[in-house]
Amino acid sequence: MLSIRLKYERIKMEKTKVAIIGSGNIGTDLMIKIIRTSTALEMSVFVGIDPASDGLARAKRMGVKTTHKGISGLVEMPEWKDIKIIFDATSAKAHHYNYSFVEKYPDKRIIDLTPAAIGPYLVPPVNFDDSINVKNVNMVTCGGQATIPMVAAVSKVAKVHYGEIVASIASKSAGPGTRANIDEFTETTSLAIEKVGGADKGKAIIVLNPAEPPMVMRDTVFTLSEQADREAIRASIHAMEKEVQKYVPGYTLHQEVQFDDIPEDQPVFIEGLGWRHGLKTTILLQVRGAGHYLPEYAGNLDIMTSAALATGERLVKEALVQE
């Protein structure tokens, strides 16, 4: 009896082994989160390509096995066979290469934090269930993770014609990968506002602000929907705030939801849709990070890595990862 119970506890305690590819801000922050907070995932190998990177040095200090030889270095390590989830925090281009390795292994899944989006977009509180059997899921962008839940919250109540988001991030929180690929942010986020948020047309804007001390990430969501019960929209938005807070505690509505009428005789011209009228909803958000790798201002980093972590943990908890 006792031995059976011990065996059960041992199994229960066993965490799923994961690897992170990409030793920049996102990869390093995700590693710290897994080590400090995850009860389901165990950090096995941290993969970079620059032996001098701060991320690899940090991993070594934290006692994590590393390779600076990229994915090809990882697959040659003895740890590889036990790794079930690979988080890819490299770049869109590198992700295509990395996935060409991972897809050969039926027991492994990949969570893509680049804008490559080979697999479907996943925003945990909105469409996790759609992707449970997908081998490769994409986490959209930081701005997408922060705002698409809110577009979806409005969509639950009223048909959303148009969803627009503005992400303002501190200059210091934007790494070289983000800076060199601003278009990928704009395009990926716009598309995911439509596909996951449920808007007929999506638009994304990103602004970098260099103020000192650095500003905490701000996101604004504007939707134009059919006329609907404003209180129902407000309640849906507040409920969604709580859902996101489950994995990003620093995610808050910074102001009360604002409504404006766009009357039929004064419609707005939206490219790709034409003239539209209805209800404009404005949602002003703040995302304060957990301060794991970069300080609290870097909510953009936090929401991306937290969403990826939440996805990985849920895959494990719902026994969707093959043992």
Cβ-based nearer residue to another protein, 30 or 199: 199
Q: Could you tell me the smallest distance in angstroms from the CB atom of residue 163 to another protein? A: 10
Give me the sign of the Cα torsion angle 296, 177, 130, 232.
positive
**Residue from 142, 148, 167, 233 carrying the catalytic annotation:** 142
210 binds another protein (CB under 8 A): yes
Q: Tell me the C-alpha distance between 104 and 88, whole Å.
A: 16
Applying CB under 8 A, which part among 26-34, 131-139, 168-176, 313-321 lies near another protein?
168-176
Three-state SS for the chain is: CHHHHHHHHHHHHCCEEEEEECCCHHHHHHHHHHHHHCCCEEEEEEECCCCCCHHHHHHHHCCCEEECCHHHHHHCCHHHHHEEEEEECCCHHHHHHHHHHHCCCCCCEEEECCCCCCCCECCHHHHHHHHCCCCEEECCCHHHHHHHHHHHHHHCCCCEEEEEEEEEEEHHHCCHHHHHCHHHHHHHHHHHHHHCCCCCEEEEEEEEECCCCCCCEEEEEEEEECCCCHHHHHHHHHHHHHHHHCCCCCEEECCCCEEEEECCCCCEEECCCEEECEEEEEEEEEECCCCCCCCCCCHHHHHHHHHHHHHHHHHHHCCCCCC
Which residues 127-156 are close enough to bind another protein by CB under 8 A? none
37 binds another protein (CB under 8 A): no
Cβ-based nearer residue to another protein, 129 or 212: 212
By CB under 8 A, the count of residues binding another protein is 37
Binder among 205, 228, 235, 253 for another protein (CB under 8 A):
205
Cβ-based nearer residue to another protein, 27 or 214: 214
Applying CB under 8 A, which part among 48-56, 151-159, 198-206, 230-238 lies near another protein?
198-206
Binder among 39, 72, 100, 171 for another protein (CB under 8 A):
171
Cβ-based nearer residue to another protein, 267 or 295: 267
Identify whether 17 is a catalytic site residue: no
Contact string (CB under 8 A) for another protein, positions 263-302, x = contact: -----xxxx--------x-x-x------------------
Q: Could you tell me the smallest distance in angstroms from the CB atom of residue 182 to another protein? A: 5
Cβ-based nearer residue to another protein, 60 or 179: 179
Q: Which residues are catalytic?
A: 142
Which residues sit at the interface with another protein, rule CB under 8 A?
A: 164, 166, 168, 171, 176, 179-183, 185-187, 203, 205-211, 215, 218, 220, 222, 224, 254-256, 258, 268-271, 280, 282, 284
